[in-house]
């Protein structure tokens, strides 16, 4: 395989594919060109930050996150800025999301679920002790490293638009509805610590049951169920697990169990190992201040090339969950929110074929170089379905195409992908064995 051409470089980092998207940010895979270390770079738009009066809070959050060095929290290495963007360099975690593990493997045994829950509580407790609250805890924000240890991502960075008012409470409803605490929904202000703990309780329920405690296609009915803590534990749960979940999912935050009490709970304590780590490393916060100085002196240089991003073997492996290359070119996407296929066709032809297939399905198409954003004009269960696609060069005559849900309902994405794959049968590269099977 040829050496990759750098499509984009930010300072010393060679930037690759998009691995996540949100309202205010996009996350890219990158590599430190000085030592080869893989990282994730979160990219924020400066104009949006300033328009939403978020600059001071982001400065505070980033400075705090740089001080947080916990084995179960994704590390923040450094921050940089250009004239228009803020770049947050984060630890790159290769084991996939806990969400995918639940979807693919189903509910967990209590010992396994307890291990992940213990690591989650360790991370949440540590960050709360430093005044950092997540506000969007859910399995999609819980990553697994190559050893299967839990890593909380976006801690302190997921809810950048939130503001604490004079009463010391947060007032913006945020997060994924199924995991949000009742006090967040009632719009009278809430404490970030107890709200995070509720989300931890929902996560524990999902790990043990394999489904959500609160779910309803009607949003108002869902809010009613959450507000009254209307849920039933499945019969296979032990009494200790049921009791702990009931104490966490108390709709009254004043009566909800605290983390200190969870650490003393008999079910929680079984096999518990406190995290061992060293926090003594010196931390330089100069880069945090430089990000907000409007001077060319402090701006990082960006370089771009308009070619499909070339991909080396390491990046190819890192795109596969658990470093298993067999997962890279699955014909069926399963229940994932992204999928990939390979093609021997030219990159421009692949882009045009996707556009021709998407438009009849009701999608508005936005193209930029070898990336596309498809937006369904008709709102679905969770708003308009947005899909991102990107073409990568794996070898001179072989491209890999990533199709990823950027926004909307996951099941609607799978329905779209099935329709799309039918339209692209002549584009997808097949092995000789697959060609023989089709005869």
Cα gap 131→133, rounded to integer Å: 7
User: Which CATH topology does 8-92 take?
Assistant: Phosphorylase Kinase; domain 1 (3.30.200)
Neighbouring-strand partners of residue 25: 44
* Average pLDDT estimate for 317-335: 42
Binding site feature residues: 42
Exposed (0-12), middle (13-18) or buried (19+): which is 274, by Cβ within 10 Å? Answer: exposed
Is residue 15 within 8 Å of 41, Cβ to Cβ? yes
Cα gap 201→251, rounded to integer Å: 12
Task: Quote the pLDDT of residue 351.
Answer: 86
Give the predicted TM-score (pTM) of the model.
0.65
Task: Quote the pLDDT of residue 401.
Answer: 86
Cα gap 89→76, rounded to integer Å: 6
Task: Quote the pLDDT of residue 164.
Answer: 43
Q: Which stretch of 16-25, 42-51, 67-76, 130-139 has the lowest confidence by average pLDDT?
A: 16-25
Span 135-149, pLDDT tens digits: 888 888 899 988 889
Q: Crossing angle for the helix pair 192-209 and 239-248, nearest 10 degrees? A: 150
pLDDT band of 335, cuts 50, 70, 90 = very low
Binding site feature residues for ATP: 42
Exposed (0-12), middle (13-18) or buried (19+): which is 179, by Cβ within 10 Å? Answer: buried
The domains spanning 98-269 and 329-438 adopt the same CATH topology: no
Cα gap 341→333, rounded to integer Å: 10
Cα gap 371→17, rounded to integer Å: 10
Catalytic site includes residue 136:
yes
Domain borders along the chain are 8-92, 98-269, 329-438
User: Which candidate, 75, 85, 415, places its Cα nearest to that of 279?
Assistant: 75
Task: Quote the pLDDT of residue 231.
Answer: 92
pLDDT above 50 for 334: no
What would the 3-class secondary structure string for 292-343 be?
CCCCHHHCCCEEECCCCEECCHHHHHHCCHHHCHHHCCCCCCCCCCEEEEEE
Cα gap 218→314, rounded to integer Å: 44
> Hey, which of 6-20, 66-80, 103-117, 135-149 has the most confident mean pLDDT?
103-117
Is residue 3 within 8 Å of 378, Cβ to Cβ? no
pLDDT band of 323, cuts 50, 70, 90 = very low
Q: Which residue has the higher pLDDT, 247 or 34?
A: 247
Describe the strand order of the beta sheet including 25-32 as a list of residue ranges: 76-81, 85-91, 38-45, 25-32, 13-21, 8-10, 302-304
Is residue 330 within 8 Å of 336, Cβ to Cβ? no
Q: How far is CA 99 from the centre of its chain?
A: 10
- Taking the CB of residue 299, how many other CB atoms lie within 10 A of it? 18
User: Which candidate, 153, 164, 161, 165, places its Cα nearest to that of 131?
Assistant: 164
Cα gap 377→364, rounded to integer Å: 7
What CATH code would you report for 329-438?
3.30.310.80
CATH number belonging to the domain at 98-269, selected among 1.10.10.60, 1.10.510.10, 3.30.70.980, 3.50.50.60 = 1.10.510.10
Span 193-215, pLDDT tens digits: 898 999 999 999 999 999 999 98
Span 237-265, pLDDT tens digits: 999 999 999 999 999 999 999 999 999 99
User: Which candidate, 250, 233, 229, places its Cα nearest to that of 241?
Assistant: 233
Single out the catalytic residue among 100, 125, 136, 196: 136
pLDDT above 80 for 16: yes
């Amino acid at each position: 395989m040829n050496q990759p051409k750098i499509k984009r470089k930010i300072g010393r980092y060679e930037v690759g594919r998009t691995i996540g998207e949100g309202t205010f940010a996009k996350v890219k895979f990158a590599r430190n060109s000085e030592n080869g270390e893989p990282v994730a770079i979160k990219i924020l738009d400066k104009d949006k930050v300033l328009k939403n009066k978020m600059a001071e809070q982001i400065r505070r959050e980033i400075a705090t996150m740089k001080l947080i060095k916990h084995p179960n929290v994704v590390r923040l290495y450094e921050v940089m800025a250009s004239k228009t963007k803020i770049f947050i360099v984060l630890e790159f975690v290769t084991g996939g999301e806990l969400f995918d593990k639940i979807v693919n493997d189903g509910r967990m045994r209590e010992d396994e679920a307890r291990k992940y829950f213990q690591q989650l509580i360790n991370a949440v407790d540590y960050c709360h002790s430093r005044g950092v609250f997540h506000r969007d805890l859910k399995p999609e924000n819980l990553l697994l490293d190559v050893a299967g240890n839990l890593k909380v991502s976006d801690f302190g960075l997921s809810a950048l638009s939130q503001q604490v008012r004079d009463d010391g409470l947060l007032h913006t409803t945020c997060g994924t509805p199924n995991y949000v605490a009742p006090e967040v929904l009632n719009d009278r202000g809430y404490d970030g610590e107890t709200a995070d703990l509720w989300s931890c309780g929902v996560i524990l329920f999902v790990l043990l049951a394999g489904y959500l405690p609160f779910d309803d296609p009607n949003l108002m009915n869902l809010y009613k169920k959450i507000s009254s803590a209307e849920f039933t534990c499945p019969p296979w749960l032990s009494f200790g697990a049921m009791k702990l979940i009931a104490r966490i999912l108390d709709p009254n935050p004043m009566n909800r169990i605290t983390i200190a009490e969870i650490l003393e709970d008999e079910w929680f304590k079984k096999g518990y190992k406190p995290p061992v780590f060293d926090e003594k490393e010196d931390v330089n916060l100069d880069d945090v201040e430089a990000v907000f100085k409007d001077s060319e002196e402090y701006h990082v240089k960006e370089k771009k090339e308009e070619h499909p991003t070339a991909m080396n073997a390491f990046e190819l492996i890192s795109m596969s969950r658990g470093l298993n290359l067999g997962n890279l070119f699955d014909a069926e996407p399963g229940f994932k929110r992204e999928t990939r296929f390979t093609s021997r066709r030219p990159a421009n032809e692949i882009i045009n074929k996707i556009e021709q297939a998407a438009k009849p399905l009701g999608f508005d198409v936005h193209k930029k170089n070898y990336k596309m954003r498809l937006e369904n004009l008709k709102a679905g269960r969770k708003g308009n379905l947005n899909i991102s696609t990107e073409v990568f060069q794996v070898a001179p005559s072989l491209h890999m195409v990533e199709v990823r849900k950027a926004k909307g309902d996951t099941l609607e994405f799978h329905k779209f992908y099935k329709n799309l794959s039918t339209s692209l049968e002549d584009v997808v590269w097949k092995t000789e064995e697959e060609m023989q099977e089709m005869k």
